[in-house]
Structure 1
């Protein structure tokens, strides 16, 4: 229904016995739903779209999960802007709480590519699922490394599962599925990739994970969306410190890394759109000896952490 999004669905699902109740009865208590139903033919068209989505999912061997389903990813469930419905192709990780989002620029430096491989390999060896966005650059390297190491990886897409974008990663998407991983989208079949979808896709990556490793980014990089979301969700953000070679070359793709490693609290909080107190969960990774420390960072169970955050509120 036009005008009914995740927030409205969360409201509707709180209605007693809403699965069995007549939609008109529910609408009497929810003005937004009532307004949507007042449009001639809207409910009929909505049901037709439902049947289309279900048939496409069945033909594509995909599942449609809602937050009410027990196998909906646990960490994602407890984010305040969790997608109410997700489309899943493939297999989710057996221990979804052991998930890390590894993201970064589409144009990493040589060191950025190497660090992506090393950190991904480390997490795979420790049986963590690697979450990324199937974009070129760091995302692609993370997925490829996970597949090569026979680890589990999830690609979060900014469009419907009827296609793969970029097209150059179609083979990689197939390899992810063949290796026991999954493709996930909150957008139905037929949905195209538009700019707003990529921002939400990046937040969903952070929502699926205990924390985010942001390999490299400039000051305006798209990777900052997931980085901000990680801190807003009360989770951790790990950022590798650039090599001396990259620093001397003043590589544009390390500028966010340099800022995060600085002592400029105000600028860091401004770029990450967070309170200064949230920066306690920003961690700079100096070398591979720091990798084990990342795994020991705050773990989430049941939507709460030692910080006292409860994402059900």
Structure 2
């Protein structure tokens, strides 16, 4: 059935199986794949966030996606509404490679409104990936596992925006658990002043107490060394070179920071 649908099946024993994913403790034994996986899988980043982005957040997401595409990175996301769709769209339009990880079989696309986007991903040389067999529909628990697989496929995760109970936290926690880096852009002054609910996790991870951060990410305080807070464009390089020493604290007023 998979072959008739233009998909192929790869196992963790196959050379094509993503090397980053096989390093995780809960990597799927098999993947159903349509399209082409990244030629340099180590240069893969997951870009995720709320399904209800703010307008200022959309600008940050586009600039961050373009930043990675220009450096030759593959963009991984989940084809969901909100940030996922934006990340895929920007990657395709910028001529980059992108992988959509699905929470159901390849016989359908969910949400239906992203059917055209899924076609564009394949046409641009990207891939649709799932661990679920043909015919399997989307179930709530599968979205959690899908989010963890996104993190497993990537060198790091960029969580553009999330509230304190957002689904994006599943991939964010997985990134830390998998010994990858997690990046969170600091919200714009406009979103902070409006007390936007969808940026509260970003604010806590940037400015909260150490215990508050580790509680939110369900990790040990020492694991927060791999948390990168993006307060300006000068911080972007830490994602490309995460082992580099952090830049000196930026004393520029928040209203003057150039995030995009």
So what's the TM-score if we normalise by structure 2?
0.92
| Runs ≥4 residues deviating over 4 A | none
Aligned-pair distance for 1:131? 0.1
3-state SS of paired residue (1:58): coil
Aligned-pair distance for 1:298? 4.5
Two-structure CA RMSD over aligned residues (Å) = 1.0
Find the counterpart in structure 2 of residue 228 from structure 1. Answer: 173
Find the counterpart in structure 2 of residue 195 from structure 1. Answer: 140
Find the counterpart in structure 2 of residue 144 from structure 1. Answer: 89
Distance 2:103 2:208 in 1: 35
Find the counterpart in structure 1 of residue 230 from structure 2. Answer: 285
- Would the aligned equivalents of 1:236 and 1:298 in 2 still touch at CA under 8 Å? no
Distance 1:275 1:189 in 2: 38
The aligned runs of 1:1-313 (5 Å cut-off) are: 56-298=1-243
Aligned-pair distance for 1:207? 0.1
3-state SS of paired residue (1:270): helix
Distance 2:215 2:155 in 1: 23
Distance 1:205 1:192 in 2: 19
Task: Describe the shift of the 1:85–1:298 C-alpha distance in structure 2 as closer, same or farther (beyond 3 A).
Answer: farther
In structure 2, stretches of 5+ residues that fail to align are 245-260
Aligned-pair distance for 1:83? 0.4
**Matched pairs, number:** 244
Distance 1:289 1:165 in 2: 36
Distance 1:298 1:290 in 2: 13
3-state SS of paired residue (1:225): helix
- Would the aligned equivalents of 2:104 and 2:136 in 1 still touch at CA under 8 Å? yes
Deviations 1:26-51 (A, max 9, x none): xxxxxxxxxxxxxxxxxxxxxxxxxx
Distance 2:168 2:162 in 1: 7
Aligned-pair distance for 1:288? 1.9
In structure 1, stretches of 5+ residues that fail to align are 1-55, 300-313
3-state SS of paired residue (2:3): helix
Deviations 1:195-228 (A, max 9, x none): 1000000000000000000000000000000000
Aligned-pair distance for 1:293? 2.1
